[in-house]
Structure 1
């Protein structure tokens, strides 16, 4: 794919919102569903992103899948007005200074640099959780205590590709977190700086790769959890939101065990579950995000399985070897690269989507589509959601 910005869609004179991230197609789809005209800047400018955007710009990338700040500021200065809401997706978790610089020049709609730092500095985060009485795994800067299983993580990273079992952090910028067993669940919620509103729960799974056993694989939902557990999580997220000033859409990663739960981390931005929750009966999630940034939380019930609610699943299809996309991908694939795009081993090819009668059915449909895509791309068949 091209390495720097390239306008690959027809220009328009005005935009209602500016969307920036490593991959911003989900945000663009939500914007269109809300009746907004988005300017979209990301690393891929995939076919469906370009179709959804009023204008799509492909940004320079550096260090793998990282945004280039110089190119980002250059493109925003050229194409984005200072009064148009700017919504950030993935790619800023480890860069609170960059978020602060963006907020100083543009109308940032979402959590600012201070909130990001409070949530993404693991020792400060753990200290705040302890003060709020929120269950969480222990974190360590030195070797793990005897008998305590731990995971090494990179400060501010996302996507799970950086996580691996270890009893010793490799150096500055890395830390150890106690490994707790249970079901991986994500809570989608809104914050307005003083309180939170839970929207839905989803389950998550990994797509292990060599050296990256916890690489993000996908999500499915909604889930129905016990009312007492929902109440406890809702209360915890409201207290945390008020303490750190979180605004807009966010997700909380949880581990649910036998009779216990732990808050692992919070991502203060719209995330991957847009693919399964930005659909009726929920309103457009980007509209809810903008309203929450203006202080308004919706009066919405928690989304749970039932009549009129589809169970949806979405998984990332990664290239196990270098590939070249030769044909258009099926309609159930999102983030579709244009034919002729070359993709390096380990990089995402697309997002695969599915629906089903229940979680098991949705994930089974997803697995079949993953295998179909492997055959279409001449890749040896593999399981999709183990």
Structure 2
């Protein structure tokens, strides 16, 4: 295995929110270009140039993609969240640039829920019961969109509900939500870390929205070893590459697998290793042999607007804040305002810092909405 230096050239980052990958690319010595939906201040400051588009659909993505290809010597691209409903857009990028991540066919395969849960069953990997036909009762069932991310659209099933989009049903599983961050080279996996995460209910249609994550768990060594064995089998079966995460519910001694996120996830920010470089290397078939353990604990929290609000001029954001909106931005109810990242030697202190910062920001923004000062 060789450790060739990474070419510090241009790379195009495309995601619903590009900030995380743009910053990671810059820290790795590359020149990131960005296409995303939010156009946050820190994304624009860190990127060589950025384009904000209304959606990742082809009609919006293609003009921005051609813009960068025509103006910069960019040959590579990396994608983040947001393509679950835009599979053709991912193929569109792959047709024009070298895509450093899972191939669009692999990405699409993982969103074929029938095939995915069938694979888990064949491999003997536990998962909450699923149904691809409307259940007769609402006893413990959740309804989940087949193409979604971050928990969007997941809600408790009500038999009288009119359903428009493609969905499947899954039994609600008691336990604590977790994820495992891992690298893959198409055949093998390399675990970066295990994480505990949590969700928030924003409405009756969004009852399990991803809200935060910390790189601290109470998982036993035996449970971690079992998950590691599952990952090796899944990576080989699905030809996964680069950074991915597997979400699961831990209930007593059993880990119930929910899904695989086949792209760099939010938990990437919780680890100090140069995971951007490691992702690119893994996509080229190289799993670097060593990675440093995290120093202490880190947590990541998304703040959502409970009511529509405007970001005031001159608002002073705490230093732990990322995904910073521009002054004057209108944040709709249920949309993310910003994110917070905190670090400490104790996980409880991380959670406390996240709570304190969240309360401070919400209180200050609410004060402006009411008093204008």
The one of 331, 356, 365 aligned to 1:377:
365
- Confirm or deny: 8 A CA contact 1:167 1:176 kept in the other structure: no
Once structures 1 and 2 are overlaid, which stretch shifts more, 166-175 or 309-318?
Answer: 166-175
TM-score (norm 2): 0.89
Asked whether 1:234 is paired with 2:237, we answer no
What's 1:159 paired with? 150
CA RMSD of aligned residues (A): 2.1
What's 1:338 paired with? 326
- Confirm or deny: 8 A CA contact 1:318 1:347 kept in the other structure: yes
CA offset digits 1:59-107 (Å, max 9, x no partner): 2x1xxxx423222111111213686221010111233333223212221
- Confirm or deny: 8 A CA contact 2:34 2:51 kept in the other structure: yes
The 5 A counterparts of 1:89-100 are 89-100=80-91
What's 2:14 paired with? 20
Distance 2:65 2:316 in 1: 30
Runs of 5+ unmatched residues, structure 1: 1-13, 381-386
Distance 1:109 1:379 in 2: 44
The one of 279, 285, 299 aligned to 1:295:
285
What's 1:150 paired with? 141
Distance 1:343 1:331 in 2: 21
Asked whether 1:320 is paired with 2:306, we answer yes
State how many pairs are aligned: 354
Alpha-carbon shift at residue 224 of structure 1 (Å) = 5.6
Distance 2:291 2:285 in 1: 18
- Confirm or deny: 8 A CA contact 1:27 1:274 kept in the other structure: no
What's 1:52 paired with? 46
Distance 1:295 1:97 in 2: 25
The one of 120, 141, 149 aligned to 1:129:
120
Distance 1:171 1:82 in 2: 43
The one of 176, 180, 186 aligned to 1:183:
176
What's 2:5 paired with? none
SS of residue in 1 equivalent to 2:44? helix
TM-score (norm 1): 0.86
The one of 237, 249, 252 aligned to 2:243:
249
Distance 1:42 1:176 in 2: 31
